[in-house]
Amino acid sequence: CQEMLMWVCLSPLDMIGHEFGPQSREAIDMIYHLDCQIERFMNCVSEYLKRTDVLFVLTADHGISPIPELMNQEGYNGAIRVDYSKVIPEINQMIS
């Protein structure tokens, strides 16, 4: 019996979540399409291997908080969006 480990990285959802937030239309759309792709992948694997010979494990590296604008609407007034184009030069100047 041969064994195989396949690792698939699905990082686009992470990027979408950081940019638009987990409750955004972009993230929900990405999750929908990702779910469909994972289903197709699992069905395809099942055509070649018995289900009892396959173990699918899905993991994540972390969660993500809602976008600051939504947090403010819900009463979390300390939530802010960081403008990195302004912050990075300021930090570099302080370091100098």
Q: Check residues 94 and 19 and name the one with the higher pLDDT.
A: 94
Decide: residue 58, CB within 10 A, 0-12 exposed, 13-18 middle, 19+ buried.
exposed
The pLDDT tens digits of the residues spanning 51-81 come to 888 888 888 777 777 888 888 998 988 888 8
Residue 32: predicted pLDDT: 95
Q: Check residues 79 and 32 and name the one with the higher pLDDT.
A: 32
Give per-residue burial for 70-83: e unless 16+ CB within 10 Å, then b: ebeeeeeeebeeee
Whole-number mean pLDDT of the chain? Answer: 86
Tell me the average pLDDT across 42-56.
88
